[in-house]
Chain A
Amino acid sequence: MLALAIGVWGLGALGALLARGRASASVVGALSAVAGGAAASAAGVQALVSGAPVLWHWPWAVPAGALMLRLDPMAGAFLLPVGVIGALGAVYGAGYLRGHGSAASTRVAFAAYNVLCAGMALVVTANHMLLLIVAWEGMTLSSWVLVVHDHAAAEARAAGVQYLVAGHLATAAILLLALVMAAANGSFAIAPLAGPAAVPAGLLFVLALVGFGTKAGIVPAHVWLPDAHASAPSHVSALMSGVMITMGFYGLARFLPLLGVPAAWWGYVLVALGAAGLTGGILFSLAQRDVKRALAYSTVENAGLATLGIGLGVLGAAWHDPILSGLGWTAALLHLWNHALAKSVLFLGFGAAAQRAGSRDLDALGGLLARWRWVGSATTVGAGAIAALPGLNVFVSEWLLLRALFGAVLRGSGAGEVVMIAALIAVVMGGAIALAAFARLVGVALLGAPRTPAAASAPEPGWTMRAPLIVLAAACAAVAAAPVPVTGVLAGAVALASPLADTRIATALVQPLGLVLPALVLLGALTAGARAAVRRAGARRYSATWGCGYGAPSAAMQYGSTSFGSGITAVFQPVLQARIEREAVPGGGPAGALWPVSARWASVTDDPALRRGYRPLFARIGRVAARVRGGERARVTTSVLYLVAALVLLLGMLFVPGIGA
């Protein structure tokens, strides 16, 4: 099944590239992605249910390489979202790309999409580090092609460069990790550390955290994510935000147990980074005007929640607390699934709104739910899900995380107890602000009166784009209605991530949550029935919204994207560091004249980590490199000289005792 999926995706990529027109490329590309996704989902479910690993081994011409695949419950847990979201995203993409770019770009987009799916499937099933790195690169490069799909826009190109740099710094860390582990194990096969490694296990943990955490969107290595995820076509944004970040978490879940019994500080680091990510991510989401950037920052938030869960799982292992370890890992893995479903709904829904209204600016949308019955309603369900409302799926995993934290506070002592309390406060604050953030997205983009003529006339997308949204929204409800089987099937993966974890406790605890949705539906039906009986008696009239006595209210008077969140963002201004950009519009008249002239005013919230941290750092590296290079007069001879110097240095290392031997 797995080989079939990868084969179909590979053929689909070729087919989409070779297809003659846009329509045939869409059909070939989408059909192969759906077929591959179905096969991958089946393989994932089978691996999760059966529990026994299946191994493949073929020779590979690469030195020290071997095509080794392993499909075990861990691989299955991460393969399933690749298949499901990959297939549904492709169906949506066939409709979405129809009105987007040229025929050639559609061909390339579908080819890259299939390669991306195949790459992710290979990442989670590779049982050999070189194969993993090759698949990882394939995933990064094919997604880069999709990020720069709209390469006419300068911001997409900038996002692409940033993404490539971040991706390759991460790959470098993974390569180092692989080399050190292979040196200790004598082979590149992915296996537990057999002997003492050249460096302490803590350093290997840091390498894994940097390498995999960058892809996962863990703070502070998240800075590439909002730009890259927002620039890609919306079905690719869904796949990147919902699924590709889980590849980073897969790396952590696969490699951390290989490094032996974890130290407690690994867990503390993960909990701290998770808490920073989830609070920071949702605050920045609330401050964005660009709807897709807001969604991407919410991905940083959810990556933080998953990181915090993994941190609890690691702490549980370090403290020999099977319950905490089991709950932490289960919450993290389940949250990644739930987030994949809900975030895909949101990217597909708001992405369609942005495409049809011709702008990603929240304040250029509005009033869509009234006409977009299906897409609007499904998107609202997705927003409710990701705001962790009871009765939908994300609530189950956030509940599990909070339950784990409450339990840990009760069982912990000393420093551990204080850290758990701090983490609990962070999760609750993040959840409360998430409600504001997603009420804002739905309220400003889908409700109220249309804010622009384009939004007022935008037609609802057709069924190829509607159907995936409806399926995903229904899946959000289904997971909430049946939390026991969904949580239970993760037990095998949790056992692989943390051998001492209690894998049954989570399943037992979530059982009552399955009743929440039916109870709410039942109570709701009763109340709505009573309400309908009253309504039949009374008269019903329709009129304009009451303007509090003002006779000419306009759409521009509605609360907008910035004003809605201003109560919260004002308090957190020291964190957000929003800046006001104002300028007089050219031709508006002399500035400073007696009469007001037309002007532009914008509140910009860009990432301080990028503005204060990475940009100055990279600028300094660039200046140093320029000086080494010899400024503008770089010559071939100088380059050759550096090359020779490096070779001599490497040769010299052969004679250093301890390295050369």
Chain B
Amino acid sequence: MNHAHVGSSLAALAVLLVIAPALSGVVVRTKSAFAGRRGAPVGQLYWDLFKLMRKGTVYSTTTTWIFRAAPVVVLVSLTAASLLLPLDGQASPVQFSGDLIAFAGLLALGRFALVLAGLDTGSSFEGMGASREVTVASFAEPVLFLGFLGLVLATRRLTLSAMLGPALTAAWAHQTASLALVALAFFVLLLAENSRVPVDDPATHLELTMIHEVIVLDHSGPDLAVILYASSLKLALFAALIVEVAVPRDGLGLGWSLAAFAGGLLVVAMAVGVVESVMARLRLNRVPQLIVGAGALALFGIILLLR
């Protein structure tokens, strides 16, 4: 990999890190449009983060170093995971054979920290959220791997940079159905992993029904800012994954490629907003079925690829 690639991939990473909070705003704006309201500005989350950074922090006396370390670990694991994706459509800043497994492992690291921080408070509500988070993740992680397996079989490569980079363009010509199924599975995965409707409703105000929001009830001030930013980064990361699968950008110049990337992220965010507007959330015990269904989609894609 040459230095130009490092430069362009870091530029794409910068786009992702900066645009991430705006994606949550786009989702909210889309929902407002469906509801016939004006809605909060797209940049609302930036202001929220700015406000929280200037506030003080309240710690529960029950908590330990785990509660304090968790926001940092969550943010670091997601940043490290985003270093493995070829966000410029060509190559990622860090790549090695089998890095797709490390990508999933880093997501798991962030989840472990968040769940432990929830349990650290001793709150029944946060324990509830932690329990639901690991339940959803137990079914979601195999779907991520099935999707990756589909990409591996379509491109015959074992690095994310190759699977999602130039080799994918050629694969789309022959393996259209399989790749479309994988992209669809990844979209359901995005909804599940980021606690969106129909898995969870981020706009709910009842703790009993929450998943993600309820784990972080006790975080406040800058800690909460870090967690909110990390959540928006996670949404952006999965959106980026879908964009990379659905829109191969081989042969575009850096400028067009970045523009296509940012545009793709916006489209995915709007699609999330549409889903949230037209669907109700599922009963919690139906959620595993939804995610297993996404896995079945990816598995169909894989079966089509078997020779």
A residues contacting B by CB (< 8 A) are: 366-367, 369-370, 376-377, 380, 384, 387-391, 395, 399, 402-403, 406-407, 409-410, 413, 417-418, 421, 424-425, 428-429, 431-433, 435-436, 439-440, 442-444, 447-449, 509, 511-513, 516, 519-520, 523-524, 527-528, 531, 534-535, 537-548, 553, 555, 557-559, 563-568, 570-571
Whole-angstrom CA separation of A442 from B118 in the bound complex: 12
Which one of B58, B80, B156, B222 contacts A534 once the chains associate, using CB atoms below 8 Å? Answer: B222
Which one of B56, B105, B302 contacts A389 once the chains associate, using CB atoms below 8 Å? Answer: B105
Does B122 lie within 8 Å of A448, measured CB to CB?
Answer: yes
Chain B proximity of A169: nearest CB distance (Å): 35
Does B222 lie within 8 Å of A538, measured CB to CB?
Answer: yes
Whole-angstrom CA separation of A384 from B149 in the bound complex: 26
Chain B proximity of A569: nearest CB distance (Å): 10
In the A-B complex, the 5 residue pairs with the closest CB atoms: A559-B127, A567-B135, A443-B119, A539-B56, A448-B122
30 A–B pairs (Cβ distance < 8 Å), ordered by A: A369-B120, A380-B66, A384-B112, A402-B98, A402-B101, A403-B97, A407-B158, A421-B302, A435-B137, A436-B135, A439-B134, A443-B119, A444-B119, A509-B97, A512-B94, A523-B80, A527-B75, A528-B69, A531-B226, A540-B58, A541-B56, A542-B60, A545-B218, A555-B122, A558-B127, A564-B131, A567-B284, A567-B288, A568-B134, A571-B288
Residues of B within 8 A of A570 (CB): 285
Given A403-B97, A535-B222, A545-B123, the answer on whether A417 and B306 have CB atoms closer than 8 Å is yes
* A366 and chain B: residue at smallest CB distance: B122
Does B149 lie within 8 Å of A409, measured CB to CB?
Answer: yes
Residues of B within 8 A of A516 (CB): 102
Given A399-B105, A527-B75, A567-B132, the answer on whether A538 and B57 have CB atoms closer than 8 Å is yes
Which one of B56, B125, B158 contacts A540 once the chains associate, using CB atoms below 8 Å? Answer: B56
Does A541 lie within 8 Å of B306, measured CB to CB?
Answer: no
Whole-angstrom CA separation of A548 from B118 in the bound complex: 14
Does A558 lie within 8 Å of B152, measured CB to CB?
Answer: no
Does A432 lie within 8 Å of B119, measured CB to CB?
Answer: no
- A389, A409, A513, A565 — which one has the most chain B CB atoms within 10 A of its CB? A389
Task: Tell me whether B188 is interfacial, beta carbon within 8 Å.
Answer: no
* B302 and chain A: residue at smallest CB distance: A421
Residues of A within 8 A of B302 (CB): 421
Does B134 lie within 8 Å of A421, measured CB to CB?
Answer: no
Whole-angstrom CA separation of A557 from B123 in the bound complex: 8
Whole-angstrom CA separation of A516 from B83 in the bound complex: 12
Q: Which of B10-18, B139-147, B241-249, B270-278 contacts A (4 or more CB under 8 A)?
A: B139-147
Chain A proximity of B240: nearest CB distance (Å): 19
Chain B proximity of A508: nearest CB distance (Å): 9
Does A370 lie within 8 Å of B64, measured CB to CB?
Answer: yes
Task: Tell me whether B184 is interfacial, beta carbon within 8 Å.
Answer: no
Residues of B within 8 A of A537 (CB): 54
Which one of A366, A435, A528, A548 contacts B72 once the chains associate, using CB atoms below 8 Å? Answer: A528
- B106, B124, B139 — which one has the most chain A CB atoms within 10 A of its CB? B124
Residues of A within 8 A of B127 (CB): 443, 448, 558-559, 563-564
Does A546 lie within 8 Å of B123, measured CB to CB?
Answer: yes
Residues of B within 8 A of A520 (CB): 76-77, 80, 109
Does B138 lie within 8 Å of A432, measured CB to CB?
Answer: yes
* A566 and chain B: residue at smallest CB distance: B131
- B79, B122, B130 — which one has the most chain A CB atoms within 10 A of its CB? B122
Does A559 lie within 8 Å of B119, measured CB to CB?
Answer: yes
Which one of A377, A407, A433, A542 contacts B138 once the chains associate, using CB atoms below 8 Å? Answer: A433
B residues contacting A by CB (< 8 A) are: 53-66, 69, 71-73, 75-77, 79-80, 94, 96-102, 104-106, 108-109, 111-112, 115-116, 118-125, 127-128, 130-132, 134-135, 137-142, 145-146, 149, 152-153, 156, 158, 207, 217-218, 221-223, 226, 284-285, 288, 302, 306-307
Given A403-B98, A546-B218, A568-B135, the answer on whether A390 and B61 have CB atoms closer than 8 Å is no
Whole-angstrom CA separation of A447 from B117 in the bound complex: 9
Whole-angstrom CA separation of A247 from B104 in the bound complex: 32
Whole-angstrom CA separation of A433 from B137 in the bound complex: 8
Whole-angstrom CA separation of A444 from B131 in the bound complex: 11
Which one of A390, A418, A440, A542 contacts B58 once the chains associate, using CB atoms below 8 Å? Answer: A542
Given A389-B105, A406-B158, A513-B102, the answer on whether A435 and B112 have CB atoms closer than 8 Å is yes
Whole-angstrom CA separation of A316 from B122 in the bound complex: 49
Does B122 lie within 8 Å of A367, measured CB to CB?
Answer: yes
Whole-angstrom CA separation of A431 from B218 in the bound complex: 28
Whole-angstrom CA separation of A444 from B118 in the bound complex: 11
Does A548 lie within 8 Å of B222, measured CB to CB?
Answer: no
Which one of B60, B73, B142 contacts A544 once the chains associate, using CB atoms below 8 Å? Answer: B60
* B114 and chain A: residue at smallest CB distance: A439
Which one of B61, B75, B223 contacts A543 once the chains associate, using CB atoms below 8 Å? Answer: B61
Which one of B61, B124, B132 contacts A558 once the chains associate, using CB atoms below 8 Å? Answer: B124
* B138 and chain A: residue at smallest CB distance: A432
Given A417-B306, A541-B57, A558-B127, the answer on whether A439 and B119 have CB atoms closer than 8 Å is yes
Whole-angstrom CA separation of A566 from B127 in the bound complex: 12
Whole-angstrom CA separation of A331 from B61 in the bound complex: 43
Chain B proximity of A393: nearest CB distance (Å): 13
Given A409-B153, A523-B80, the answer on whether A545 and B146 have CB atoms closer than 8 Å is no
* Sample of 12 further A-B pairs with CB below 8 A, known A409-B152, A428-B142, A520-B80: A369-B66, A370-B62, A389-B109, A406-B98, A428-B141, A433-B138, A443-B130, A519-B80, A524-B72, A539-B57, A545-B62, A564-B130
Given A531-B71, A559-B124, the answer on whether A447 and B108 have CB atoms closer than 8 Å is no
Does B53 lie within 8 Å of A534, measured CB to CB?
Answer: yes
Chain B proximity of A527: nearest CB distance (Å): 5
Residues of A within 8 A of B149 (CB): 406, 409, 421, 424
Chain B proximity of A635: nearest CB distance (Å): 60
Residues of A within 8 A of B130 (CB): 439, 443, 559, 564
Whole-angstrom CA separation of A409 from B307 in the bound complex: 11
Does B122 lie within 8 Å of A449, measured CB to CB?
Answer: yes
Residues of B within 8 A of A540 (CB): 56-59
Whole-angstrom CA separation of A202 from B290 in the bound complex: 43
Whole-angstrom CA separation of A629 from B284 in the bound complex: 58
Does A448 lie within 8 Å of B306, measured CB to CB?
Answer: no
* B115 and chain A: residue at smallest CB distance: A439
* A549 and chain B: residue at smallest CB distance: B207
Whole-angstrom CA separation of A402 from B148 in the bound complex: 12
* A439 and chain B: residue at smallest CB distance: B115
Chain A proximity of B24: nearest CB distance (Å): 21
Which one of B79, B121, B128, B223 contacts A523 once the chains associate, using CB atoms below 8 Å? Answer: B79
Which one of A367, A509, A567 contacts B131 once the chains associate, using CB atoms below 8 Å? Answer: A567
Chain A proximity of B296: nearest CB distance (Å): 12
Whole-angstrom CA separation of A540 from B124 in the bound complex: 24
Does A429 lie within 8 Å of B109, measured CB to CB?
Answer: no
Whole-angstrom CA separation of A431 from B101 in the bound complex: 12
Whole-angstrom CA separation of A520 from B84 in the bound complex: 13
Given A406-B149, A540-B57, the answer on whether A524 and B76 have CB atoms closer than 8 Å is yes
Residues of B within 8 A of A559 (CB): 119, 124, 127-128, 130-131
Residues of A within 8 A of B53 (CB): 534
Chain A proximity of B17: nearest CB distance (Å): 13
Does B98 lie within 8 Å of A443, measured CB to CB?
Answer: no
Which one of A391, A440, A541, A558 contacts B109 once the chains associate, using CB atoms below 8 Å? Answer: A391
Which one of B56, B111, B124, B153 contacts A557 once the chains associate, using CB atoms below 8 Å? Answer: B124
Given A523-B79, A543-B61, the answer on whether A565 and B131 have CB atoms closer than 8 Å is yes
Whole-angstrom CA separation of A480 from B140 in the bound complex: 26
* B137 and chain A: residue at smallest CB distance: A432
Residues of B within 8 A of A511 (CB): 96
Residues of A within 8 A of B152 (CB): 406, 409-410
Whole-angstrom CA separation of A403 from B226 in the bound complex: 33
Residues of B within 8 A of A384 (CB): 109, 112
Residues of A within 8 A of B217 (CB): 546, 548
Given A425-B142, A432-B141, A520-B80, the answer on whether A447 and B131 have CB atoms closer than 8 Å is no
Given A433-B138, A443-B119, A542-B58, the answer on whether A399 and B108 have CB atoms closer than 8 Å is no
